[in-house]
Structure 1
Amino acid sequence: MLDWSQILEPNTHPLEILVRGSSMYLGLFVLLRVILKRESGTTGVTDLLVVVLIADAAQNGMAGQYQSISDGLLLVAVIIGWSFLLNWVAVHWRWAERLVRPRPLPLVRDGVLLRRNMRHELITEAELRAQLREQGIAHLEDVHEVRMEADGQFSVIPCEQAKDQHRPRNPRSKQRV
């Protein structure tokens, strides 16, 4: 016979779950934000954390390692809560946005490698050139700018595209209809 009280009633103090979940989320967030920025690919660091931690928390709740479903659900709620809170804070305060979502880092400007920035993110010239080839660019001289975005992806602005953006507009094209 199933012991419903053992399955549904929490047996870990909710404050302990809150402290453990918060510590793991924030600790992993800092590590991923500082160390593995470009490894996260197209998934943002907070998204990656939520998926990994929820999978683990839900697995523990389902497999019985918490002894109760409510312990697992509380931990999942803590993880989602931190993700929501960090994103909310980043939207409402500019200083927090810089902490949660790093600014794009220039790696090439007007065909010149910015080696200091490349060293900061542990990007080799070979890796950068491979990214340029994937964008169909064979020579650095053809690049106006390359930036590593907050999600770790590289955005490339070719010289001809930059010229189009800075071209003076025809005042006649602004006529009202």
Structure 2
Amino acid sequence: MFTLETPPLELFLRGTVIYLTLLVLMRLVGQREAGGLGLTDVLIVVLIAQAVGGGLIGDSQSLTDAAVLAATILLCSVVVDAAAYRFPRLAAWTKARPRLLIEHGRINQAVLRREFMTTEELRSHLRLHGIEDLTEVRRAYLEPNGMISVLTDVGGTETVSRPPGV
């Protein structure tokens, strides 16, 4: 139950490759799908659940295998976050950035297409902010956590709505 059934280096390499592969794939999907969680939060939850699942149900993995995989995944998360903090170019690639949806009342159709969001969905979120007229919007962003923030010309206030699709 506590003996390693798989060499630790293999577990480390498997965890690292899977983490990095899922990170790239999830960045390609877009931030709208992540909802209220950050991208790395979703990765951690999914990977940890899968890594320790076999150890919990007594599958062919030992508890030690699961612990090594879980530690590897958490280490990868910390290393990616630390590297993104240290190297801004890497952060631009691994971390989601706010996407400009509206600027001075004009909708950015390219961003809507990229995030698979319709104009009606966007207008629905604006209504949640009490905005019916696009000319009131100075800027609206799809934030990295999937929420929409709106800066208005009326008073310059900023409000945040729930993630699209929630």
Judge same fold: TM > 0.5, yes or no: yes
Say yes or no: does 1:70 pair with 2:64.
Answer: yes
Asked whether the 8 Å contact 1:105–1:149 carries over to 2, the reply is yes
Greater helix content: 1
Aligned residues: 158
Aligned to 1:81: 75
Match of 2:6, SS?
coil
- Identity within the alignment, %: 35
TM-score normalised to the size of structure 1? 0.83
Aligned to 1:175: none
Asked whether the 8 Å contact 1:108–1:147 carries over to 2, the reply is yes
Alignment partner for residue 106 of structure 1, among 92, 100, 110? 100
Alignment partner for residue 25 of structure 2, among 31, 37, 48? 31
1:92-103 counterparts in 2 under 5 A?
Answer: 92-103=86-97
| Residue type at the aligned position of 1:24 | I
Q: CA deviation at 1:120?
A: 2.1
Q: CA deviation at 1:74?
A: 0.3
TM-score normalised to the size of structure 2? 0.88
Separation of aligned partners in 1, 2:61 and 2:72: 18
Aligned to 2:127: 133
Q: CA deviation at 1:161?
A: 3.4
Aligned to 2:6: 12
Return 5+ residue gaps in structure 2 as ranges: 159-166
| Residue type at the aligned position of 2:21 | G
Asked whether the 8 Å contact 1:66–1:72 carries over to 2, the reply is no
Q: CA deviation at 1:36?
A: 3.7
TM-superposition CA deviations, 1:120-149 (whole Å, max 9, x none):
222210111111112221121111111111
Separation of aligned partners in 2, 1:29 and 1:114: 26
Separation of aligned partners in 2, 1:122 and 1:112: 18
Aligned to 1:4: none
1:49-68 counterparts in 2 under 5 A?
Answer: 49-68=43-62
Return 5+ residue gaps in structure 1 as ranges: 1-6, 166-177
> What stretches of structure 1 move > 4 A for 4+ residues in a row?
none
| Residue type at the aligned position of 2:62 | S
Aligned to 1:154: 148
Q: CA deviation at 1:98?
A: 0.7
